[in-house]
Structure 1
Amino acid sequence: MTATAVHPTESTQPTSRAGELTDEGSTLRHAIALAKRSLIKTWRTPEALVDVTLQPVIFILMFTYIFGGAIAGGSQHEYLQFLLPGVLGQTVAMAGIALGVNLNTDIEKGVFDRFRSLPISRSAPLVGAVLADVVRYLILFVMCLGTGLIVGFHVGTNPLAVLAALGISVAFALCFCWISVWVGMIARTSGAVQGIMFLLVLPLSFVSNAFVPTATMPSWLAQVADVNPISHLVGTVRGLMVGGPVASNLLWTLGWMAVLLLVFVPLALRAYRRRA
């Protein structure tokens, strides 16, 4: 009785093993499946949507009726035309904070240990979480624009330009949120993630053209605001929704999106592999 020889060319490895040996198509399918999981989780805890529903409404009403008269020389309607794209830019950046907090919480609860035991790509949980955030950003845009229209905002362009503003806002948010993903991987607690991200997002939001023209700032601060990625996003959205130049700000925004992806996606994936 002779033993059957195993030739070196024949693979004895399983076709899928805890995230290894998966192609790009499989990674995308795994990410979409995990995105559905995140959406189901959000559906069951609707209070998790406060930052993309009530928060933009509060910001628009508060800035318009409390600060609008003083900033715009008494014309709250004129300030609303300037303000709404700025609130959208700020809240888009702030909405990504929840992503890092949730990922950090899942790691602490051992959820990612279970993911690691499954035959899925190692990057699928992170990519899936980011894809699920698209729904949050769409809700945020609708709430901002809907509230603005109710209190007197006037679209100065056309529906196609508004859709373009939606597209660039969501695309920028999906790039910017990788900062939160990275912080969620390196911070020890979910509270630390929130604190670190607020320290980053708030200065970026206010040292920009979101709430006041940069020309009113000291010259050194205006130079910082003029290269701020949120300033360029707000400038793009403002031009698309209210009217005005778009090309320069759009190119800057696309450039910042590329930088964010090139820098923070590898950092987030490396930190995820080390921790999870």
Structure 2
Amino acid sequence: MTTGGADLVRMPGAGRLPADTATVTGRNLRRLVRVPTLIAFATAQPVMFVLLFTYAWGGAIHPPGVTTYIDYALPGIWVLAIAFGASQTGVAIADDLTTGMIDRFRALPMARAAVLAGRVTADAVRNLFVLVLMTGVAYAIGFRFHAGPAAALTAIGLALAVGVAFSWIFALLGLLVRDPESAGIGGLLAVIPLIFTSSTFVPVATFPGWLQAFAKVNPITVTVDALRALCLGGPTSAYVWHALAWIGVLLAVAIPAAVIRYRPAVGRQRPA
């Protein structure tokens, strides 16, 4: 038998990580398909974001360098929808903790990290669906990619990477709070200030001077600016590398912290 962290690096757990992750991913995706309300909310909310922000604010906000507001806003709306959706990662992890599902996973001969990785992977699949849906709706109301198909695919890939980082952060939150309602509220409280103090909807230059200093280093601003550059065209390399650096830092912190927290969290679910 292995104990502590050894089962994360010894066979069979570590060797089975890809297969176990795929199994847990399939379980989470099947649950999504079998619960109609989850599909409804996963589709309705992003579409509402695209339509409401475009038609409610598009006539009042005229960022420099763009003809239509939807061209400017869609990259930010992508991040908004992904961030809000990622909060459900924490809710799902906390729910599995409280219902004893993770206790069942722990009793199986499987890689421990697969439970978290499977949840994050399933959410990445959902995010891809959401991104495609939002882009289709945006195209119908005037959005266009101006930098070609390669840049467009890179933008989608970068947005998915942002979603993975958010999902790991909220998985850690779910393990910390251990309550689905608290995880959902905590996730939104973390996202809303970052979104609205970034370049998501308006240029940072329109903020008060004291807020601009924070907005310019806000990881949401860095990411949205990179996505916007890929969508609108122009210089992109510096923006993309800065965004990837932020994503790398967030993953480097969140993944080990979540895996470390996962073990004592599930341990407390079992009787002594």
TM (normalized to structure 1)?
0.89
1:92 aligns with 2:82: yes
The 5 Å alignment of 1:177-192 reads: 177-192=167-182
1:221 to 193, 211, 219: 211
Cα distance in 2 for partners of 1:24, 1:230 equals 33
Unaligned runs of 5+ in 1: 1-12
1:199 aligns with 2:183: no
CA deviation vs aligned residue, 1:75-115 (integer Å, no higher than 9, x gap): x9621111111101211222111111011101111001111
Q: Which moved more, 1:17-26 or 1:196-205?
A: 17-26
User: Retained in 2: the 8 A contact 1:52–1:143?
Assistant: no
Cα distance in 1 for partners of 2:14, 2:104 equals 21
Structure of greater Rg: 1
Cα distance in 1 for partners of 2:213, 2:39 equals 35
Distance verdict in 2 for CA 1:182–1:63, change over 3 Å: same
Look up the SS of the partner of 1:71 in the other structure. Answer: coil
1:49 aligns with 2:31: no
Structure 2 counterpart of 1:102, one-letter code: A
Distance verdict in 2 for CA 1:67–1:82, change over 3 Å: same
2:115 to 81, 106, 125: 125
User: Retained in 1: the 8 A contact 2:7–2:13?
Assistant: no
Cα distance in 1 for partners of 2:57, 2:204 equals 17
Moved over 4 A (4+): 17-20
Cα distance in 1 for partners of 2:152, 2:12 equals 39
Provide the alpha-carbon RMSD of the alignment: 2.0
CA deviation vs aligned residue, 1:199-250 (integer Å, no higher than 9, x gap): 1101111111110000000112111111111111111111111223211221
1:113 to 98, 103, 106: 103
The 5 Å alignment of 1:143-162 reads: 143-162=133-152
TM (normalized to structure 2)?
0.90
The Cα of 1:165 is off from its aligned counterpart by 0.6
Unaligned runs of 5+ in 2: 267-272
User: Retained in 2: the 8 A contact 1:209–1:225?
Assistant: yes
Of all paired residues, the percent bearing the same amino acid is 36
Aligned to 1:4: none
Q: How many aligned positions are there?
A: 260
Cα distance in 2 for partners of 1:188, 1:208 equals 30
CA deviation vs aligned residue, 1:134-181 (integer Å, no higher than 9, x gap): 211101111121111001112212111111111111112112211100
Aligned to 1:253: 243
